[in-house]
Amino acid sequence: MAQRLTGKSKDLDGFSVTRILPHAQKRMVGPFIFLDHMGPAHFDAGEGIDVRPHPHIGLATLTYLTEGSILHRDSLGNHVEILPGDVNWMTAGRGIVHSERETHETKAAPHAMNGLQCWIALPEQFAEIEPSFTHHKKCQLPQFNEKGVFARLIAGDALGMTSPIKTYSPMFFLDVIFSQDTQLERPEPEQECAMYVLEGKIHSGGETYAKGDFVLLEAGTELNAPEYSRVILLGGEHWPVVPYIYWNFVSFSKDRIEQAKTDWEEQRFADIPGDNREYTPLP
């Protein structure tokens, strides 16, 4: 039976988000250990996203927007604006620092923001790899178009497609648009799968799911859209052991997390070139 989970609103540097994972009833879905829905939000000129430099270890971050833009900077020297449909994939590994802000042009006018940010846990054998960053434009991502269903594969493998993003365990992240009265069977039946409804309604298993619903789906589940709908489908191979998570750190070792906390407090992480005047204190 499908299981519906309810997210909680959180504040992220003055910006409200809905935190869906981790959840008391489900810590992970495949390798996805964290999922925030940022927005939808509308900002006046001079306001907006302004997440100061902060560190990560033991995970990869996936940022995907449906509206607005974010200016990504990191300690490897990357300086990239992400736009709707593009994807930022940052592998923290042994440690990276990044900030998420906005360009002058965005900040100088009223604007909106809507998108998702995920943390994908790295398997223990990859937890301390060298940090890296890739940015892919929407036109570089695989597309599935069949019988009124339009899907973009952001990461992993699904629906016979493979994303160009390098991942470290079996997984998938799909943005799916349904035309009215169309259907799709949930992908990758041997893996865990969750659906997050962005717009519209989905009928499945005798239940109706609407905007904002996050649902764990069983294998063989068919998704039916009675109207235009848009959903995110994400998942991957089940993880029998859930790593520890503290603040922005993910690890299978509590000692490693303590070391990361000390390293951040003593400023042993690398700086972000051009964005090192501010600092996010350890909570």
Whether the CB-CB separation of 59 and 42 falls below 8 Å is answered with: no
pLDDT for the residue 16: 73
Is 107 part of any domain?
A: yes
pLDDT for the residue 166: 95
Total tally of structural domains belonging to the chain: 1
Name the CA dihedral angle for 18, 91, 70, 67, rounded to a multiple of 10 degrees: -60
Is 159 part of any domain?
A: yes
Full residue range of the structural domain in which residue 159 is found = 3-236
Is 271 part of any domain?
A: no
Dihedral sign computed on CA atoms, order 85, 79, 18, 41: negative
Is 73 part of any domain?
A: yes
pLDDT for the residue 12: 64
Is 257 part of any domain?
A: no
Is 250 part of any domain?
A: no
pLDDT for the residue 14: 57
Q: What is the CATH number for 35?
A: 2.60.120.10
Provide the 3-class DSSP secondary structure of residue 105. helix
Per-position pLDDT tens, the chain of length 283: 689 888 888 776 556 789 999 998 899 999 999 999 998 889 999 999 999 999 999 999 999 999 999 999 999 999 999 999 999 999 999 999 999 999 999 999 999 999 999 999 999 999 999 999 999 999 999 999 999 999 999 999 999 999 999 999 999 999 999 999 999 999 999 999 999 999 999 999 999 999 999 999 999 999 999 999 999 999 999 999 999 999 999 999 999 999 999 999 999 999 999 999 998 999 9
pLDDT for the residue 15: 65
Distance CA 214, CA 211 (A): 9
C-alpha closest to that of 236 among 180, 154, 126: 154
Is 255 part of any domain?
A: no
Is 176 part of any domain?
A: yes
